[in-house]
Each structure stands twice: as C-alpha cells, then as structure tokens.
C-alpha cells in the first residue's frame, strides 16, 4: 500500500474510528478500567510501527521495561518489513514478535484481527504505543484489551485527534529527544491517574542504547578479509562508507555533489570510499561513482545480504557519512565514527544515541528558519518544494576536514 494512501486512511477513516471507539469505551466504562497497580504486569505489548532506525532509539525503553518488570513477558508489534532489526537485537523471544503486513488493505485488516485476538488470549496487561499520532496504533491499543494503555496525547493540538481511551497518556514534547519520551511512556504505566495535564518525570538522555550485537573476533576478521578479496583496491587503506540515499523521504538527502566533493577529497588523501544502500540505490550510487571518477570509489549497494552483515561492514570500516535514517542509528551498535546530516528533521529530537563503544556521532544541521519542517504535527509532509536548502547549506569542505581529522584519530585496523 502506498504511503500517501496509508496517510489518507489514517487521517480520515482513522479519526472516525477513534471517535466511535471512544464513545463505545465511555458507554461501556472501559475507557479507564480499574487496575490493581500493586500487581506488576505479566504481559506488555510495545507497538513500534515506525522506521527501523526508531528501534535503536527505543533501546533504552526496552532496557527500562526489563529492569522495572523483570517477570513480565514483553511482546513487540511491528510492520513485518521492519522486524529484522528487532530480531537481530533480540528485543524479546521469537514467539513474542508480532507482525503486520501493510502491503495491501486486506492483509493489513487480516493481521490486525489476528494480533488483536492473540493479545486478548494472553490476556494482555499493558500496552505502550510508541507512535506519535498514528490512529491505527491508537485503535490497536484499545482492541488488544489491555487495561493500561500508555501513549502520547496531543493535549490541545488541533487536528491530531486519536481518541480518548489511552488512559496512561503523556503530552508529546517536540523539544525533547524521542528516546527520553519513550522512557516517559514506561513511567506512565505507573501513574495513579491519567497524566494528560501533568508533566512527565525528569529524564536524562540515555548514556547508551542498551543494545548490542555480539560478534567474535574471528567472525569480524573473516568478513574484513572477504571485503578486501572482493575489492582488493582497498588494501592498506582506510575505508569511508557513504549512505547518500534518502529512503522513503528523499528530501532528507544531503546533495550528491556535496558527497562527491568529500569523496574526492578523501581519495586524494589516500582513503577508499564505499557507497552503501539498498539495491534500489544502485542508480544513485552509479551516478555518485561517476562524479568521483576513481577506482577507489566502489559501489556497495546491495553488497550486504542482511542487517547483521551491514554491521560487520561497519566494523570493517573506519568512518560513515550518512543522511538521517537507519544506517546512522545502526552505526551506534558498532565502533565506527559517524557524520550524520539533518535538515527536514532535527538531531535534537532524532539524533543517534551513544553506543556501547562510546559517543562517536557528529550531527550537522544548518539551522535555517524553515528547518526542521517534518514533524508529528504535519504527518511528516514537508512544505519544501524539493529545493532542500537546509541540507544544501551544509558545506562539504568543513565536513571533509572533520572526516579527515576523524580518520587520523582512527587506527587502520578497524
């Protein structure tokens, strides 16, 4: 199903359904059921339908759930296309992953019904809706039958109605990092009443993601040797990876000519450059490679067959330049240094967290008046005409200088 179709259905059909369910919950008295808070929840569902990078930003929340409710079973509901990350990170046991296929309306409705029945059979004690103002996730909160329903409330914001049955709600704050707000959703489960008009507890930005992907030294050495066999031109050089694609939001991409300028400077300094991305990014990578005009710039789009292999490639490399998106967040699970570009969205809200290897990310933002333009309040629909000046004004030469300095501080054996 197309993204625009999903947005239209969620906005118009979703609001009507939320209003109907809110009235139903009020009439039945199930909007705020009595909960014995002296008993910890046994089954907790986390709804996380967003892009894969958000899973890494939600890592501290999962850690907090495990620490606060060690005896609880955590279930995770995602779109099926995003489940690879959660399974690799082992956020829960395999049997507790639940997926929704959004490729068509029929498959979407079928899986919503299937998941709803499965959650009611548990029965479910609590649900955390990590989506900002999605109506489908709000409806799922109620349909699962959980008496504790934590999620974000727009408070007095117009046009973001998603029902009145999320009874452990916290105000969404566009000025606080999303990882801190995810942690506040855990706090909301303990509230004695609906904190719709109350401030959430103070939360510091997590010192790390709380996530890790273990690799053996032999496994990493073998993979690096494979990369050098496949691309012998990289032997004896430090490898810089570039992710020039914008994913489903192309306005998030730093200009290709800026990437080319940095790539040429890196190659002149004796380094190698690898262009990563999905197979769909192959045309973009070919264009960038042609602009660079060097055999030391290699196309690695589609080279990794899984997310785990992508992380191994990060281990085998020395620096990553990436647009706002999944790769920049996945890099926090490895030792690689990262330079990450933000414009339509802001690093203050979605910037990568420090990983278990320490803080390694540098965030670039131009700070022009119209940036950021994508938010939960406009359903990530930018008013930009395609001329994304917020990213174009991040000049390549200072980035190149930072990249060269980072490489000087990084040993050859990554």
Per-residue model confidence (pLDDT) at position 200? 62
Per-residue model confidence (pLDDT) at position 28? 84
Count of domains observed in the chain: 2
Do 241 and 387 lie in a common domain?
yes
Residue 206 lies in a domain: no
| pLDDT band at 11; cut points 50, 70, 90 | confident
Element (H, E) at 27: helix 14-28
Residue 369: is its pLDDT beyond 60? yes
Per-residue model confidence (pLDDT) at position 161? 87
Residue 208 lies in a domain: no
Do 74 and 122 lie in a common domain?
yes
Question: What is the dihedral angle through the alpha carbons of 174, 188, 211, 403, rounded to the nearest 10 degrees?
Answer: 10
Residue 48: is its pLDDT beyond 70? yes
- Tell me what the mean pLDDT of segment 234-247 comes to: 95
Supply φ then ψ for residue 274, to 5 degrees.
-120, 130
Do 178 and 295 lie in a common domain?
no
Q: Is the bond into 123 cis (omega within 30 degrees of 0)?
A: yes
Per-residue model confidence (pLDDT) at position 310? 97
Residue 207 lies in a domain: no
CATH of the domain at 325: 3.40.50.2000
- Tell me what the mean pLDDT of segment 72-79 comes to: 96
* Separation between Cα atoms, residue 408 and residue 405, nearest integer Å: 5
Do 112 and 180 lie in a common domain?
yes
Residue 141: is its pLDDT beyond 90? yes
Strand 43-47 versus strand 126-129 pairing type: parallel
Greater confidence, 412 or 146? 146
Residue 37: is its pLDDT beyond 80? no
Per-residue model confidence (pLDDT) at position 105? 86
Do 173 and 225 lie in a common domain?
no
The residues, ordered by sequence, that sit 6+ positions from 290 with a Cβ below 8 Å of its Cβ are none
Do 171 and 31 lie in a common domain?
yes
Least confident interval from 201-210, 311-320, 341-350:
201-210
Q: Two tokens at 162?
A: 């998603």
Q: ∠360-363-369 over CA atoms, to 5°?
A: 170
Range of the domain at 99: 3-188
Do 270 and 349 lie in a common domain?
yes
Residue 21: is its pLDDT beyond 70? yes
Tens digits of residue pLDDT in 142-183? 999 999 999 998 777 767 888 889 888 888 888 899 999 999
Nearest CA-CA partner of 239 in 227, 229, 230: 227
Do 296 and 364 lie in a common domain?
yes
Per-residue model confidence (pLDDT) at position 360? 83
Residue 204: is its pLDDT beyond 90? no
| pLDDT band at 26; cut points 50, 70, 90 | confident
Do 141 and 238 lie in a common domain?
no
Q: What is the mean pLDDT of the chain?
A: 90
Per-residue model confidence (pLDDT) at position 329? 94
| pLDDT band at 359; cut points 50, 70, 90 | low
Do 160 and 271 lie in a common domain?
no
Number of H helices, E strands in the chain: 16, 12
Tens digits of residue pLDDT in 250-307? 899 999 999 999 999 999 999 999 999 988 899 999 999 999 999 999 999 999 999 9
Q: Two tokens at 45?
A: 């569902």
Nearest CA-CA partner of 22 in 137, 147, 161: 161
Do 182 and 328 lie in a common domain?
no
Do 168 and 258 lie in a common domain?
no
Residue 211 lies in a domain: no
Nearest CA-CA partner of 269 in 413, 411, 410, 400: 400
Residue 193 lies in a domain: no
Residue 358: is its pLDDT beyond 70? no
Give the end of a domain, one of 169, 188, 207.
188
């Amino acid at each position: 199903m197309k993204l625009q179709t999903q947005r239209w259905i969620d906005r118009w059909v979703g609001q009507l359904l939320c209003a109907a369910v809110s009235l139903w919950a009020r009439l039945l008295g199930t909007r705020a059921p009595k909960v014995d808070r002296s008993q910890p929840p046994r089954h907790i569902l986390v709804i996380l339908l967003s892009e894969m990078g958000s899973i890494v930003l939600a890592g501290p929340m999962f850690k907090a759930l495990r620490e606060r409710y060690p005896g609880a079973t955590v279930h995770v509901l995602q779109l099926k296309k995003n489940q690879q990350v959660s399974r690799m990170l082992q956020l829960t046991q395999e049997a507790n992953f639940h997926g929704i296929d959004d490729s068509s309306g029929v498959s979407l409705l079928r899986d919503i019904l299937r998941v709803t029945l499965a959650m009611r059979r548990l029965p479910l004690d609590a649900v955390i809706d990590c989506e900002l103002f999605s109506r489908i996730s709000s409806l799922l909160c109620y349909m699962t039958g959980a008496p504790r329903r934590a999620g974000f409330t727009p408070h007095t914001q117009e046009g973001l109605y998603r029902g009145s049955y999320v009874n452990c709600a916290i105000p969404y704050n566009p000025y606080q990092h999303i990882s801190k707000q995810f942690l506040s959703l855990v706090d909301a489960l303990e509230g004695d009443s609906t904190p719709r008009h109350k401030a959430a507890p103070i939360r510091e930005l997590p010192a790390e993601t709380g996530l890790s992907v273990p690799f053996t030294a032999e496994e990493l050495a073998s993979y690096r040797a494979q990369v050098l066999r496949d691309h012998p031109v990289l032997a004896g050089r430090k490898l810089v990876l570039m992710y020039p694609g914008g994913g489903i939001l192309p306005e998030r991409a730093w200009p290709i000519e800026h990437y080319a300028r940095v790539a040429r400077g890196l190659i002149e300094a004796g380094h190698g450059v690898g262009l990563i991305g999905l197979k769909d990014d192959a045309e973009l990578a070919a264009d960038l490679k042609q602009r660079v005009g060097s055999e030391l710039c290699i196309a690695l789009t589609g080279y990794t067959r899984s997310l785990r292999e992508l992380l191994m490639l990060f281990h085998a490399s020395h620096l990553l330049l990436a647009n706002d998106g999944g790769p920049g967040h996945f890099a926090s699970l490895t030792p690689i240094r990262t330079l990450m570009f933000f414009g339509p969205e802001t690093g203050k809200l979605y910037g990568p967290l420090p990983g278990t290897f320490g803080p390694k990310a540098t965030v670039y933002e131009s700070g022009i008046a119209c940036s950021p333009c994508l938010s939960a309040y406009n359903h990530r629909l930018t008013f930009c005409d395609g001329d994304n000046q917020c990213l174009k004004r991040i000049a390549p030469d200072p980035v190149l200088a930072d990249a060269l300095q980072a490489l000087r501080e990084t040993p050859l054996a990554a």
